[in-house]
Structure 1
Amino acid sequence: MKKVSIVTVNFNQPKVTEDLLKSLAEVNNYPDLEIIVVDNGSKANPVPEWKERYPGILFIRSDENTGFAGGNNIGMAHATGDYLFLINNDTEVTADLIGKLVDSMEANPKIGMISPKIHYFDQPGMLQYTGYTPMNYYTCRNACIGQFEQDRGQYDFLTGPTGYAHGAAMMISREAWQKAGGMAENYFLYYEELDWCERIKKAGYEIHVNLDALIYHKESVSVGKRTALKEFFMNRNRILFIRKNAPGFTFLLFWCYFMLAVVPRNIIQYIKNKEYHFIPVLLSAITWHFKNKPDSKNLGFPLTR
């Protein structure tokens, strides 16, 4: 039986994380598990209390918020499993989830990473993910297959290779992780798991989805409130992803598309919605690339807890 290390990251959501831990306690058909929880610089440190309440779990405290990639990288550095299963703290698992993912990876050594089918937790039967289409590198656009549809099994035939894993739930083999490395922490938010999948594929592995395995995600179906932080990283990282992963001429064509189509459209939308403060945020996301190399650790945005 291969050992699985489950890694999740908490940031100011102790109750949500505790609900996940209760859910993991019900995984009764996979005996060799370790659970690692990284607190990513929360305002109130929950780790001392958690260590008393959950003695069988490894809790790690980071004094600063290192982002989605950084928090997971901290957890993976402490993992001892043959497979590392990264899940969002706002998920709840099904009893046979882990066993089914491991079985898929054991049956096919080409698989470097695999995600399960994802349902919205608060919308019974509604799909969030059954795979991703490939990326269009000229526009940096792709699609999440099945999202917002009722699950009637209409995509279950897609089990196998897919464009990308889903950041809410992705299992990677230790071998693939060691060859590809961890997630790039300078993304901080958004696009980091897509970039990671690209490096895993370049290391010689495939990205798969197992639609017999299911996890529930508490992410809201409605679009979350736009913030300056979200606008900055969504735009900066969209450019960064293509800059890192596309050939030079393709990046040039993408840059023309972004500057001639995306930027005017976004600015018009900001003005229409009277969100004038987002205009300098967008411009800052663009100018970051003139000042920084693709692997720069300068995030370009002031972070607060």
Structure 2
Amino acid sequence: MKKVSIITVNFNQAAVTEEFINSVEINNSYFPIEIIVVDNGSDHDPIPRWNDRYNDIRFIRSKLNLGFAGGNNLALKAATGDYLFLVNNDTEFTPGLIENLVAVLDSNPKIGAISPKILYFDKPDIIQYAGFTGMNMNTGRNRCIGQMEQDLGQYDKATGQTGFVHGAAMMIRKEAINKAGLMPELFFLYYEEMDWCEKIRKVGFEIWIEPKARIYHKESMSVGKNSLLKEYFMCRNRILFIRRNAPWFSRIIFYFHLLFLVTPRNLFSYILKGSIGHARQFLRGIWWNLRHSKESTVLGYEGD
């Protein structure tokens, strides 16, 4: 049996993380596993209390918020599993989740990363993710398959390759990480798993979805559905992803599309809504890419 490392990152959500741990303890029947929880610079360190409460979990504390990739990478460096299951702390396990993912990875050594079907926690019959289409490098857009559809089992036979895994729940083969490297930390938040998928593909592995495996997600609990933080990093990192992964001719098309269609459309929409803060963060995301290289680690975020 392959060992699975279950990895999650906490940031100022101790109670949510405890709910996640409880869901693993109640619903997981796969062994051997190890559970690693990273506290990513929370205002108050929860680890001393957790050490008293949980005897079989490894806790790692970062004094700084290293972002989604940085926090997960701390655990990846410490993990001893053959498969590394990175899951958001605002998810809930279901029975058979790990078994289904492991079975697919065991069946095909070409698979480097795989995600389960993701359902909304507060509406468990509604799909959040059943795979991704590939990225249109000319527009920087792709589509989440099945999103907001009622789950009637319509994707349960769709096991196979997909555009990208989903950052909320993704199991990675250790061999793929050894060859592709850790998750890119320069994104900080959003698009890092997509960039990672591109790196994993480049070293010869495939990206898959197993919709018969299910997990529930408390969407946007960490950041907020319309936060300024999300606006900035979604804009900044969409551009950064294209700069790092698209061929030169697609990058040129993308820049024209961004300048003459996306930017005026988005700014007009924000002004009509009176969302000046979002307009400002959108422009800051563009400005960051004009001033920094595609390997820069400068974040440049300013909240309002």
Task: State the TM bucket, normalised to the shorter chain.
Answer: over 0.9
* SS at structure 2 position matched to 1:166: coil
Q: 1:302, CA displacement in angstroms? A: 4.4
Matched, 1:265 2:265: yes
* CA deviation map 1:190-236 (0-9, x unaligned): 11111111111111100011111111111169x94423222211111
* CA deviation map 1:56-81 (0-9, x unaligned): 10001110111111111111111000
Q: 1:28, CA displacement in angstroms? A: 4.6
* CA deviation map 1:220-267 (0-9, x unaligned): 69x944232222111111100000000111101101100111100111
Q: 1:274, CA displacement in angstroms? A: 1.2
Residue type of the partner of 2:2? Answer: K
* SS at structure 1 position matched to 2:226: coil
Structure 1 match to 2:235: 235
Residue type of the partner of 2:154? Answer: Q
Gaps of 5+ in 2: none
What does 1:185-200 correspond to in 2, within 5 Å?
Answer: 185-200=185-200
Moved more, 94-103 or 294-303: 294-303
How far apart are the structure 2 equivalents of 1:16 and 1:132? 27
Q: 1:277, CA displacement in angstroms? A: 3.1
How far apart are the structure 1 equivalents of 2:303 and 2:8? 21
Q: 1:283, CA displacement in angstroms? A: 2.3
Matched, 1:97 2:86: no
* SS at structure 2 position matched to 1:158: coil
Q: 1:157, CA displacement in angstroms? A: 2.4
How far apart are the structure 2 equivalents of 1:3 and 1:93? 18
TM-score with structure 1 setting the length:
0.96
Structure 1 match to 2:8: 8
**How many residues matched?**
303
Matched, 1:168 2:168: yes
TM-score with structure 2 setting the length:
0.96
* CA deviation map 1:161-203 (0-9, x unaligned): 1111011100000000111111111111111111111111111
* SS at structure 1 position matched to 2:288: helix
How far apart are the structure 2 equivalents of 1:77 and 1:28? 24
Structure 1 match to 2:88: 88
Asked if 1 retains the 8 angstrom alpha-carbon contact of 2:7 and 2:86, the reply is yes
Structure 2 match to 1:226: 226
How far apart are the structure 1 equivalents of 2:128 and 2:166? 10
Residue type of the partner of 1:215? Answer: I
Q: 1:281, CA displacement in angstroms? A: 2.4
Residue type of the partner of 1:244? Answer: R
Structure 2 match to 1:300: 300
Moved more, 190-199 or 285-294: 285-294
Structure 2 match to 1:210: 210
How far apart are the structure 2 equivalents of 1:225 and 1:88? 16
* SS at structure 2 position matched to 1:60: strand
How far apart are the structure 2 equivalents of 1:162 and 1:123? 24
Residue type of the partner of 1:180? Answer: A
How far apart are the structure 2 equivalents of 1:231 and 1:129? 21
How far apart are the structure 2 equivalents of 1:225 and 1:119? 17
Distance 1:303 1:79, change over 3 A: farther
Q: Percent identity?
A: 56
What does 1:1-305 correspond to in 2, within 5 Å?
Answer: 1-219=1-219, 224-302=224-302
Distance 1:50 1:135, change over 3 A: same
Residue type of the partner of 2:55? Answer: P
How far apart are the structure 2 equivalents of 1:271 and 1:156? 42
Q: 1:27, CA displacement in angstroms? A: 4.0
Moved more, 271-280 or 158-167: 271-280
Moved more, 46-55 or 281-290: 281-290
* CA deviation map 1:118-166 (0-9, x unaligned): 1111102111111111111111111111111111111222111111101
How far apart are the structure 2 equivalents of 1:241 and 1:299? 14
Residue type of the partner of 2:177? Answer: W
* SS at structure 2 position matched to 1:152: coil
How far apart are the structure 2 equivalents of 1:103 and 1:225? 34
How far apart are the structure 1 equivalents of 2:206 and 2:166? 14
- Give me the CA root mean square deviation: 1.7
* SS at structure 1 position matched to 2:113: strand
How far apart are the structure 1 equivalents of 2:64 and 2:145? 35
